[in-house]
Structure 1
């Protein structure tokens, strides 16, 4: 993966754009999600929460760099078949690992949206605005991943809630969230957290689409073999995908905080999340 020269990891949360991508050998699409303006004049704390692709290619040199983050927790959002095929490597780093699959594995494919999209999950765009802004009959998807993002919005709430609660456990931070390449499942999970902290949707979207640069998805399609040995295409993320997910989560309940409360997060847990992940600007 080609990135710009990477500044000190401890400062990453205050940076923007491509400078936020951290150079850790064997870890793709790694960055600190800190530094964004949050609610009540606060900002997301740098050095507390990171996002990336899987650690299955982590090198010893990369582990030395990753050690600088001081990670206590790694939350793996992949399905069990993916983890069996490509387990994370730690090279002795003392973090605690937890698996919280965002999506179930589908027949002959996986919980990776790039490959699961071909399994045609039971999701539709019912209720999405039509060209006149009115809800109506299901619209034809403009992006191959639209039905999968609708599906994630409909079924991924419980695992995302479990992820938030894992971050609230004593000593869990700093933490790293990852899926296979850190763009779809990680993207929506991080978006929920940032939105709950009061980060503006434009900033959340900027962080989300940065995965295209972090994964080299700005030009020709990138092929990969899934855990079943099937050739797949890794699709770039698009702002419309995240907007669709947010409409079907926070949009249905008025705010991301209300959506999380609907899932079962208490007001005290939400207060604690803000306390842990934000600081005075």
Structure 2
């Protein structure tokens, strides 16, 4: 897999929201772009502020599984309160510490110094591509379980961890790169990042900044996957996702 080239089409996207109306949930969108089937895979920011009205909206969408890519510290401070009977809530931290990586089956710690994950997006995306692999592999296995769909993939604001995981799935299922990028950078509009970074307070009470996402960032993650695994398919295979698993995912998400 070579790094996709930046395209003029991908640099131009409409400045309008594509979010679905789920009260108190940011960046809630259908993850379907051609050739994916609509109404089966959604993406969002954290559901920790979900209201009864929002829970009813999720019921209307038929959601069966919520996959949370946030870390344990985040979920401890901002737990998700279950409103929906019959919805399975799954924790798969995409940015775990070393112990979390071991729990997810990670074995090669060359280059991992145990420090906090990079704050600079230019460093975060290649690093995330490598070390979020176990969570993305488990994510695919969760999606193909009988009765798991429709499902939501969520993190703090549904931008970086969710953005990469969704882009990997879209790529695996044959979506065109310009469409993947358009969908990815839509988070800038949904999160009001088109004018630049915005501040937030993290789970430790520290003021940090949420940065806009770009095609270059997503491309750097794909390049890291190619460099460390040779191809996106090999990346998935190295994290326990077989050809049969991918075929099952395709049968569920591609008409």
Bin for the TM-score computed over the shorter chain: 0.7 to 0.9
Q: Which residue of 2 aligns with 1:209?
A: 185
Change (3 A) 1:271 1:92: closer
Give ranges in structure 1 of 5+ residues lacking alignment: 1-15, 38-42, 107-118, 124-142
CA contact (8 A) 2:196 2:212 kept: no
Q: More displaced, 55-64 or 235-244?
A: 55-64
> What does residue range 162-241 of structure 1 map to in structure 2 within 5 Å?
162-219=138-195, 221-241=197-217
Given that residues 81 and 105 in structure 1 are in contact (C-alpha distance below 8 angstroms), is that contact kept between their aligned partners in structure 2? no
1:50 aligns with 2:48: no
Residue aligned with 1:223, SS = strand
* Greater than 3 Å deviation, 4+ residue runs: 16-19, 119-123, 250-255
| Equivalent position of 1:10 in the other structure | none
SS in 2 for 1:75: strand
Tell me if structure 2 keeps the 8 A contact 1:224–1:232.
yes
Aligned residue in 2 for 1:101: 93
With a CA cutoff of 8 Å and minimum separation of 6, indicate the structure with the bigger relative contact order: 2
TM-score (norm 2): 0.82
Residues 110-169 of structure 1: CA deviation (Å, up to 9, x unaligned): xxxxxxxxx96588xxxxxxxxxxxxxxxxxxx931111111112111111001101011
Query: How many pairs are equivalent?
Result: 227
Cα RMSD (Å): 2.2
Q: Deviations over 1:192-235 (max 9, x none)?
A: 11111011111111111000111111125321111111111111
Report the structure number with the largest CA radius of gyration.
1
> In 2, are the aligned partners of 1:28 and 1:214 still within 8 Å (CA)?
yes
Q: Could you say which residue in structure 2 is the equivalent of 1:27?
A: 25
**Which residue does the alignment assign to 2:106?**
none
